[in-house]
Amino acid sequence: MAQLSTSYLSVSDQSFATCLMHIQCWCWGCDIRREQGNLLLEQNFKRVQPPSGVRGSSCYFSDLESGKSVLLWGFGAAIGSLDRKGRGANIGVYINRYRFYPVAIRLPSLKERIWAPDQLRPVKLKGERSWQSSLGLLYDLASWIAAYEASVESSLGKEYRVSCLQEMPERELCLLSGMPAAWRSVAQGIADLRH
């Protein structure tokens, strides 16, 4: 996939953000499997499952107050303005679970089912304005994740997220507290790139 330039992020910042995105996807999976019910559905996300008989990740999407939408899969997340008229022309930014390299994509319409990363359609951006706009979307995504984690912490307590992280197979990656602060740090690093 075509990647946006993140060469201004230090290697350590990019490594941290990559690790954090992997942890975050794990946490969303825990939120989905939560014994008391699917937390994403309780947070007004809608779920689009893969076609019957196809193995893949469900897509969870939610509209934000800004008019943008966030899309979550087991393999990553995207943000942008969803195409609600079937034209498929809106551009968003996608982050893969295992590589914090933002990719400009053509966002799917609500009629499309996306269940694997190779179904996403990358686009090439031209010019400084497009790059700045994409960095803005990336900042919005990191900020939204920080707010989501703060909301989870506020409503379910820090112990809930700690219990999710203690179940993670790669426990050496875990941040046993401070997910909102970690994402705010990533968002700030992105904001610094925009100036």
Residue 145 included in any domain: yes
Tell me the pTM: 0.86
* Helix/strand/coil for 79: strand
Structural domains counted in the chain:
1
β-pairing verdict for 59-63 and 91-96 = unpaired
pLDDT in tens, the chain (195 residues): 444 444 456 667 788 899 899 999 999 999 999 999 999 999 999 999 999 999 999 999 999 988 899 999 999 999 998 755 555 558 899 999 999 888 889 887 666 788 999 999 888 877 656 667 788 899 999 999 999 999 999 999 999 998 998 888 876 656 655 788 889 988 988 888 766
Instruction: Pull the structure tokens for residue 47.
Output: 């779920």
Start-to-end CA distance of the chain, whole Å, equals 26
Residue 90 included in any domain: yes
Residue 125: give the domain boundaries. Answer: 11-193
Residue 2 included in any domain: no
Residue 6 included in any domain: no
CA distance 96 to 81: 19
Residue 92 included in any domain: yes
Residue 20 included in any domain: yes
**Residue 155 Cα to chain centre, angstroms:** 21
Q: Which residues contact 33 (CB under 8 A, 6 or more apart)?
A: none
Residue 113 included in any domain: yes
pLDDT at residue 5, rounded to an integer: 46
Residue 3 included in any domain: no
